[in-house]
A and B are shown apart, each in its own frame.
Chain A
Amino acid sequence: GAGVSQSPSNKVTEKGKDVELRCDPISGHTALYWYRQSLGQGLEFLIYFQGNSAPDKSGLPSDRFSAERTGGSVSTLTIQRTQQEDSAVYLCASSLNRLVAGEQYFGPGTRLTVT
């Protein structure tokens, strides 16, 4: 079946612009995660959605970052007023449910470059 998809695969934006990154999880997966991967910081957790519960936003680095998940499926990560330090690969993952929450299926990522 279809895996996790993300779009766009690459995004180049100017400093100060807003960007939206999209994630389509595996159908039927109730949990969705966003991570950020950069050379200096490795792989960092950003935000987690589980079903209809309030998301865990504890990993978001600043209030410029926000995410939503509509209808329990597709998720959008929005970065406002982008800064150069936001340049990274943004990875989305989904898992079937909380019982196997650590078994996550990752998308290919969106490479964000802020110039």
Chain B
Amino acid sequence: SQELEQSPQSLIVQEGKNLTINCTSSKTLYGLYWYKQKYGEGLIFLMMLQKGGEEKSHEKITAKLDEKKQQSSLHITASQPSHAGIYLCGADGSAGGTSYGKLTFGQGTILTVHP
């Protein structure tokens, strides 16, 4: 089965600082998804990456997919307290590029942003 490892496990930054969260897969990535979760709430979809070298941005969050390295990174520029939460990467557990949405998730990265 596919396993996803996120690093770091937790991160504390000062408001305004940039930060990067990494997600490494044990198998080939056919689809990589980033989600954010606030305590006691469900997950919020952030971005989907499907092609090697693909990069997407939403507001101050940018995600990249390095297919060869089986890795994705999430970068936040000029972090704000509203960015605080748990960031999870998820990968489609199916092979061959067919997406069933049966996601395997990393263990999550807890981000704290101090004002």
Contacts and interface: CB of A to CB of B under 8 A. Distances in A.
Interface in A77-110: 91, 93, 95, 98-109
A77 to B, nearest CB: 15
Interface residues of B, number: 24
Question: Contact residue range for chain A?
Answer: 20 to 34
Contacts of A56: 100, 102
A102 B42 contact: no
A12 interface: no
A50 interface: yes
Interface stretch (A13-21, A40-48, A68-76): A40-48
Contacts of B33: 102-104
Contact of B43 (A31, A93, A101): A93
Between B88, B92, B100, B106, the greatest number of chain A beta carbons within 10 A of the residue's beta carbon is seen for B100
Interface of A: 4, 31, 33, 42-43, 45, 48, 50, 56, 58-59, 91, 93, 95, 98-109
Interface of B: 31, 33, 35, 40-45, 48, 88, 90, 92-93, 99-108
Given A4-B42, A101-B100, A102-B99, 20 more contacts: A31-B101, A33-B102, A42-B107, A42-B108, A43-B43, A45-B93, A45-B102, A45-B103, A45-B104, A48-B101, A48-B102, A56-B102, A59-B102, A95-B101, A100-B48, A102-B31, A106-B42, A108-B40, A108-B41, A109-B41
